[in-house]
C-alpha cells in the first residue's frame, strides 16, 4: 500500500465529494471509509484507476450514511444530480479545498489543522504530535473546524492571501514529531503553485525553498542556534536554492510584487553570497523598503534596521532603531548586536542579557545568554 | 497557538477571596469543586485548547547535591515556609488574552458555600520550540 499515493489522492477525492454536494464532515468520513476499504482490498486486487475507485466507493459510503437519516430527500436530489462515474481531473477541486480549509471564519490554528488534515492527508495523530497536543484535543479542533465550514458554499472563489498565510504558518512550525511540517508546507505550496497561476504563490514557494535550504546549517549538532553570518555555507542545499531563485525570478518578471516575493528576494540575496561578508546589504535594504511599503509591519522595520546597520554601519542602524518601539520582539537583541559592532561592549553585554530574558524560545534565549557571557568574560 | 501553564498554588500565592480551607467545606462542596475542574478540562478538550493537567500532593521537598559520595540533602521539616504547587494545567490557545480569560474561569471554581473561591492562579507562557525562520 503506497502511503504517498494515498496521501496525494485523498484531497482530490474529498474535493470531488464536496463539490457534488456532500457536507464537508460527512464527505471526510466517507473518504476515510473508502481508504479503509482500499487498505483491505488493494493489495490483492489493485484497481486500474485508484482515484476513480476511491471516488466511487467514497460516494457510495456517503450515500449509505445519509440514507438512514433525515437527509433522505437531499440524498435523492443528489442521486438525480450524480455525474457519470469515472475519474475527473482533480486540480481545480483540490484548489477549492485549499480555499475551504483557509476560510476566514476559522481561527488560524483551526485553519492550519484542517489544511493538514484535508489537503495534506495527514492523520489526526500526526498533526497532534507535530503540535504537541493530545490526539483528542486535535481531533476536537479539527471537527470544530469542519463544523464551522460545513455550511460554507463550495463555489466561492477564495482569498489566495489567506491560503498563503495558512501555509506559511505550517512552514514556520518547522519540525517536531514524525511529520516534518516545513517539508509538508513546501509540498502543499508546490501543489498549489501547480494549480494556480499567482505570483505570490510562487513567491511563497521560493521563500520556503530558500529558507529550507539553509536548515542543516541553522543549528549546531547540540541544537544551539548558528547565526546566519556564522553558518557553514557548505551545508546549504544548493539545489533547493537554485530552484527557489529560479521560481522567484519568474515571479518577479511578472511585475506584480507582493510581500512573499519581497521576502524571498531578501532570502535569495543571503543565499547568493559566497561568504557573509559578500552579502549585498545595500540591495537587501532596498528590498526591506519595498517590504515596508507593502506591509507597514514594525517587524519589517526592525529587520530593516539590522540591514541598515550592515550597509551603512552600526551607528546608522542604531539611529533607525531609535525610531522604533522598544517593546517590539527582538528589539533589545538587535540593539545589543549593533552596540557590540559599534564597540560598546559593556552596553552590548547588558542588552544581550536583557534580550535573553525576553526571548520567545529556548534556542534564542540560550544563544543570547551565550553572547552576554562571551562579552562579560572577555579578558 | 501558544502554550501556557496555569499554576495552582497551595501556598505562595496571595490569599483567595473565599479563603476557607478545603477540609472545612461540605463534602458536596468539595465534589462540586472537583467536578468544576473536570468539566473545565473537558470543555477545553472540546475547543481544542487542552494539553495536559495534573494535581500534585502537598508534600514537596527541596533537594540538592551535597558533594561526592554523599546522599542528596533535602530541606527537612520546614515545608510550611515555602511556596507549594497544588496542580497545573497546560493550555494551547490563540492569544495571551484567551489564556487570561481561561485562568479567570478556572479561578471561579466553587468553594465554601458554593461561592467562587477567587483563588489566584499563575499564568506562565511556555518558551516555544525554535521556529523554522529565526534569522
* C-alpha distance from residue B4 to each of A119, B1, B15, B96, B128 (Å): 29, 10, 22, 8, 10
B47–A144: do the CB atoms touch at under 8 Å? Answer: yes
Residue indicated by cell numbers 485549499: A98
**Alpha-carbon span B128 to B126, nearest angstrom:** 6
A165/B contact by beta carbon, under 8 A: no
Asked if the model's pLDDT at residue A75 lies above 70, the reply is no
Q: What whole-number distance in Å separates Cα of residue A277 and Cα of residue A271?
A: 12
Q: Please state the φ and ψ torsions of residue B113, each to the nearest 5 degrees.
A: 70, 10
Cα separation of A290 and A203, whole Å? 14
Percent of chain A, pLDDT > 90?
A: 61
Q: What is the Cα–Cα distance from A222 to A358, expressed in whole angstroms?
A: 22
User: What is the grid cell recorded at A326?
Assistant: 522598544
**pLDDT given for residue A72 in this prediction:** 59
Residue B99 distance to chain A (closest CA, Å): 15
Query: Cβ distance B33 to B8 under 8 Å?
Result: no
Contact B131 A361 (CB under 8 A): yes
CA distance A373 to A114: 44
| Cross-chain residue pair B132–A215, CB shorter than 8 Å | yes
Report how far residue B28's alpha carbon sits from residue B113's, in angstroms, rounded to the nearest whole number.
10
Instruction: Work out the angle between the directed axes of helices A24-41 and A3-19 (0-180°, nearest 10).
Output: 140
Q: Is B101 on the interface with A (CB under 8 A)?
A: no
Q: Is the CB of B127 less than 8 angstroms away from the CB of A365?
A: yes
Which residue has better confidence, A134 or B81? Answer: A134
Residue B12 pLDDT exceeds 70: yes
* Neighboring chain A residues of B50 at a CB cutoff of 8 Å: 133-134, 136-137
Q: Render pLDDT for A305-319 as a digit per residue (tens, 0 to 9).
A: 999 999 999 999 999
How many A-B residue pairs are in contact by the CB < 8 A criterion?
Answer: 86
> B92 pairs with which residues across the strands?
B3
A176 interfacial to chain B (CB closer than 8 Å): yes
Q: What residues of A are in contact with residue B46 (Cβ under 8 Å)?
A: 140, 144
The pLDDT value given to residue A121: 86
Q: Which tens digit of pLDDT belongs to each residue from A287-306?
A: 999 999 999 899 999 999 99
Distance to chain B for A130, nearest Cα, Å: 11
- What are the backbone dihedrals phi and psi of residue A361, each rounded to the nearest 5 degrees, phi first? -145, 165
Closest Cα in chain B, distance from residue A228 (Å): 6
C-alpha closest to that of A1 among A58, A41, A53, A30: A41
Report the range out of A40-44, A187-191, A243-247 with the highest average pLDDT. A243-247
Distance from CA of B44 to the nearest CA of A (A): 8
Q: Grid coordinates representing A219?
A: 543549528
Q: Closest by alpha carbon to A209, among A154, A275, A271, A166? A: A271
Cell of B80: 510550611
> Looking at residues A353-359, what average pLDDT do you find?
94
Q: Does residue A343 sit in helix, strand or coil?
A: coil
Q: Which whole number is the average pLDDT over A93-100?
A: 85
Q: Is A95 exposed, middle or buried (0-12, 13-18, 19+ CB in 10 A)?
A: buried
Yes or no, beta carbons of B134 and A218 under 8 Å apart: yes
pLDDT of A87 over the 60 cut: no
Average pLDDT over residues A200-206: 97
d(CA A190, CA A182): 12
Contact B48 A140 (CB under 8 A): yes
- Confidence at residue A156, expressed as pLDDT on a 0 to 100 scale: 61
Instruction: Read off the C-alpha cell for B86.
Output: 497544588
Is B97 near chain A, with CB under 8 Å? no
Judged by CB atoms closer than 8 Å, whether chains meet at A363 and B49 is answered as no
Q: What is the average pLDDT value for chain A, to the nearest integer?
A: 89
What distance in Å separates the CA atoms of residue A98 and residue A114, rounded to the nearest whole number?
10
Integer Cα distance of A285 and A297 in angstroms? 15
Chain centroid to Cα A355, Å, comes to: 27
Is A330 in CB contact (< 8 Å) with chain B?
Answer: no
pTM: 0.85
Contacts with B92 from chain A: Cβ below 8 Å: 109, 131, 133, 137
Q: Do the Cβ atoms of B92 and A363 come within 8 Å? A: no
Distance CA A195, CA B128 (A): 34
Q: Does A141 touch chain B (CB under 8 A)?
A: yes
The DSSP secondary structure of A108-170, one letter per residue, reads HHHHHHHIIIIIT---HHHHHHHTTS-HHHHHHHHHHHHHHHTTS-TTS---HHHHHHHHHHH
Separation CA A335–CA A326 (nearest Å): 10
Contacts of A75 (CB under 8 A, 6+ apart): A63, A66, A67
**Which carries the bigger pLDDT value, residue A159 or residue A302?**
A302
Contacts of B94 in chain A (CB under 8 A): 107-109
Q: Which of A133, A144, A361 sits opposite B127 (nearest CB)?
A: A361
Which residues on A lie below 8 Å from B126 (Cβ)? Answer: none
Enumerate residues 6+ apart whose C-beta is below 8 A from B68: none
Q: A208 with A261: CB under 8 angstroms?
A: no
Handedness of CA A127, A131, A135, A139 (dihedral sign): negative
Look at B45 and A172 and tell me if their CB atoms are within 8 Å.
Answer: no
Beta-carbon separation of A173 and B133 below 8 A: no
CB neighbourhood size of B59 (10 A) = 7
The CA distances from residue A323 to A209, A258, A300, A316, A317, in Å, are 33, 25, 13, 11, 10
Q: Which of A109, A134, A174 sits opposite B1 (nearest CB)?
A: A109
* Per-residue pLDDT at A215: 92
Distance from CA of B96 to the nearest CA of A (A): 13
A136 at the B interface (CB within 8 A)? Answer: yes
DSSP-based three-state secondary structure for B50:
strand
Chain A residues in contact with B96 (beta carbon < 8 A): none
Model confidence band, residue A39 (pLDDT cutoffs 50, 70, 90): confident
Determine the Cα–Cα distance for residues B18 and B110; give it in Å rounded to an integer: 9
Reported confidence tier of residue B80, pLDDT bands at 50, 70, 90: low
Asked casually if ipTM beats, i.e. exceeds, 0.85, the reply is no
Q: Closest Cα of chain B to A361: distance in Å?
A: 5
| Residue A366 near chain B (CB below 8 Å) | no
Query: Three-state SS across A183-239?
Result: HHHHHHHHHHHHHCCCHHHHHHHHHHHHHHHCHHHHECCCCCECCHHHCCHHHCCHH
Checking DSSP bridges between strand B84-93 and strand B50-55, what pairing results, if any? antiparallel
- Binning pLDDT at 50, 70 and 90, where does residue A127 land? very high
Categorize the per-residue pLDDT at A82 as very low, low, confident or very high, splitting at 50, 70 and 90. low
Q: Label residue B37 by pLDDT band (50, 70, 90).
A: very high
Please tell me if residue B52 touches chain A, with a CB cutoff of 8 Å: yes
Distance from CA of A55 to the nearest CA of B (A): 30
* Cα distance between residue A57 and residue A340, in whole Å: 66
Dihedral Cα A27, A30, A32, A33, nearest 10 deg: 180
Element housing B4 (H / E): strand B2-11
What is the pLDDT at residue B1?
Answer: 81
**C-beta of residue A170 within 8 angstroms of C-beta of residue A116:** yes
Contact check, Cβ <8 Å, B135/A227 = yes
Amino acid at each position: 500500500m503506497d502511503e504517498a499515493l494515498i496521501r496525494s489522492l485523498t484531497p482530490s477525492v474529498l474535493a470531488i465529494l464536496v463539490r457534488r454536494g456532500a457536507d464537508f464532515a460527512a464527505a471526510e468520513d466517507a473518504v476515510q471509509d473508502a481508504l479503509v476499504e482500499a487498505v483491505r482490498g488493494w493489495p490483492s486486487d489493485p484497481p486500474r484507476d485508484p482515484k476513480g475507485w476511491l471516488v466511487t466507493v467514497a460516494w457510495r459510503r456517503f450515500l449509505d450514511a445519509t440514507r438512514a437519516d433525515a437527509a433522505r430527500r437531499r440524498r435523492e436530489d443528489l442521486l438525480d444530480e450524480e455525474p457519470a462515474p469515472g475519474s475527473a481531473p482533480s486540480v481545480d477541486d483540490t484548489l477549492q479545498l485549499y480555499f475551504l480549509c483557509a476560510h476566514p471564519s476559522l481561527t488560524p490554528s483551526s485553519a492550519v489543522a484542517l489544511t493538514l488534515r484535508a489537503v495534506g492527508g495527514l492523520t489526526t495523530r500526526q498533526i497532534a504530535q507535530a503540535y504537541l497536543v493530545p490526539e483528542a484535543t486535535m481531533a476536537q479542533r479539527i471537527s470544530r473546524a469542519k463544523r464551522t465550514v460545513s455550511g460554507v458554499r463550495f463555489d466561492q472563489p477564495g482569498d489566495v492571501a489567506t491560503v498563503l498565510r495558512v501555509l506559511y504558518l505550517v512552514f514556520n512550525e518547522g519540525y517536531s514529531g514524525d511529520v516534518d511540517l516545513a517539508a509538508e508546507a513546501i509540498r502543499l505550496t508546490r501543489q498549489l503553485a501547480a494549480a494556480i497561476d499567482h505570483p505570490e504563490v510562487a513567491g511563497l514557494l521560493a521563500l520556503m525553498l530558500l529558507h529550507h535550504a539553509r536548515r542543516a546549517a541553522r543549528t549546531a549538532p547540540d541544537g544551539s542556534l548558528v547565526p546566519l553570518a556564522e553558518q557553514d555555507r557548505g551545508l546549504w542545499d544548493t539545489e533547493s536554492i537554485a530552484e527557489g531563485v529560479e521560481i522567484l525570478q519568474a515571479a518577479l518578471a511578472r511585475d506584480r510584487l507582493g510581500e512573499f516575493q519581497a521576502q524571498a528576494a531578501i532570502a535569495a540575496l543571503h543565499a547568493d553570497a559566497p561568504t557573509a561578508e559578500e552579502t549585498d546589504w545595500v540591495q537587501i535594504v532596498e528590498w526591506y523598503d519595498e517590504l515596508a511599503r507593502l506591509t507597514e509591519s514594525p517587524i519589517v522595520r526592525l529587520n530593516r534596521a539590522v540591514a541598515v546597520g550592515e550597509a551603512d554601519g552600526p551607528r546608522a542602524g542604531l539611529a533607525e532603531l531609535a525610531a522604533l518601539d522598544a517593546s517590539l520582539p527582538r528589539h533589545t537583541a538587535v540593539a545589543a548586536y549593533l552596540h557590540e559592532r559599534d564597540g560598546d561592549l559593556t552596553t552590548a553585554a547588558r542588552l544581550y542579557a536583557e534580550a535573553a530574558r525576553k526571548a520567545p524560545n529556548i534556542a534564542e534565549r540560550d544563544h543570547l545568554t551565550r553572547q552576554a557571557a562571551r562579552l562579560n568574560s572577555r579578558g | 497557538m501558544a502554550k501556557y501553564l496555569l499554576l495552582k498554588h497551595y501556598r505562595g500565592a496571595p490569599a483567595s477571596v473565599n479563603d476557607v480551607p478545603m477540609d472545612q467545606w461540605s463534602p458536596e462542596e468539595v465534589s462540586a469543586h472537583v467536578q468544576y475542574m473536570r468539566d473545565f478540562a473537558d470543555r477545553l478538550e472540546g475547543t481544542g485548547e487542552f494539553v495536559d493537567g495534573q494535581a500534585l500532593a502537598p508534600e514537596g521537598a527541596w533537594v540538592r547535591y551535597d558533594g561526592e559520595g554523599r546522599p542528596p540533602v533535602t530541606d527537612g521539616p520546614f515545608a510550611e515556609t515555602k511556596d507549594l504547587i497544588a496542580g497545573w494545567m497546560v493550555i494551547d490557545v490563540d492569544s495571551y488574552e484567551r489564556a487570561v480569560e481561561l485562568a479567570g474561569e478556572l479561578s471561579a471554581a466553587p468553594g465554601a458555600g458554593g461561592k467562587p473561591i477567587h483563588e489566584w492562579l499563575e499564568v506562565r507562557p511556555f518558551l516555544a520550540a525554535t521556529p523554522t525562520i529565526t534569522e
